[in-house]
A = this chain, B = another copy of it.
Amino acid sequence: MNLLKQMCKIHAPAGEEFAMSQFLLNYIIKNQNKWKAKPTLHYGDGFQDNIIMVFGKNPKTAVFSHMDSIGFTVKYKNEIIKIGGPNTSEGIVLVGEDSIGKIEGKLAKKDDKLFINFNREIDRGTSLTFKVNFRETDDFIQSCYMDNRLGVWNCLEIAKTLEEGIIVFSSWEEHGGGSVGYLGKFIYEQYGVNQALISDITWITKGVKHGDGCVISIRDSGIPRRSYVNKIIDIAKKSNIPFQLEVEDSGGSDGNQLQRSSYPWDWCFVGAPEDNVHSPNEKVHKKDIDSMVRLYKKLLEKL
């Protein structure tokens, strides 16, 4: 879990995925020789900060995992505005850096506006993220940005043994999307792949419990093609890996962006659930993480 902890600390709100991208490239280049198959990497010009890893000669499925996090942008006089949909409880500690130096201060509210308490005026446009407090117990891992550093970590885990498949690290998922359209285009045109799994983190709800296994989402605000979701559920059932079915009418993921793209993508959200969504205290059960990794391995083999 040290790798996950490291990644939770990286400052990479939507639009500033650069640091996560660099970290991942370094990690991949350093570790890929230990992996069962060495991937072809696509990144750099024409890919913005995104990374695509292609394993094998005949990949059938692409796993999409977003690198960006929620956060805040400093407006004028230390007022702050949201990047994505972060929890905005007073007292949350935010960190960042501007031209003068490091920033750490508490979120405060005044007249329906949000501010950061800090001893000087912060540069306009400075981005802030939650201060990381990474906690591990026998059963749980808790930190900000489990969404989606855990989804990214899942991809790095399955990369170790993946022989045929594609892994994508995408951008802007938390704030309007914008990378998955052209990443999907590239994958569909170059590799003929149009099956996607969304490696991302979902919510503990009345129907989804800690420890009952990785979630397969039948729908959220978007509705994927049911015949594809059913194929995934069938593989999961036969695998004897614990999993839970989710049905929601809100929330969304890179899947929605794929669906609205100019390519015929089938997609399904498959990921561990967390409590305290979009807060500094996102909490995931270790059993669900284990189930997530095992389920992805099975799905990439069978789909």
Contact = CB atoms under 8 A, between A and B. Distances in A.
A176 B256 contact: yes
Interface of A: 14-16, 18, 46-49, 73-77, 81-83, 124-125, 127, 171-172, 175-179, 181-182, 185, 194, 205-207, 218-219, 221-227, 229, 245-249, 256-257, 259-264, 266
Number of copies: 3
Contacts of A227: 16, 18, 49
A178 B247 contact: no
Which of A46, A256, A264, A266: most chain B Cβ within 10 A?
A264
B16 A226 contact: yes
Contacts of A206: 76-77
Contacts of A261: 181-182, 262
A197 to B, nearest CB: 17
B218 A125 contact: yes
Contact of A125 (B75, B124, B219): B219
A122 to B, nearest CB: 11
Nearest to A227: B18
B48 A125 contact: no
Contact of A223 (B124, B172, B226, B248): B172
Given A124-B218, A247-B81, A15 B224 contact: yes
A15 B226 contact: yes
Contact of A225 (B15, B127, B266): B15
B73 A218 contact: yes
Contacts of A171: 225
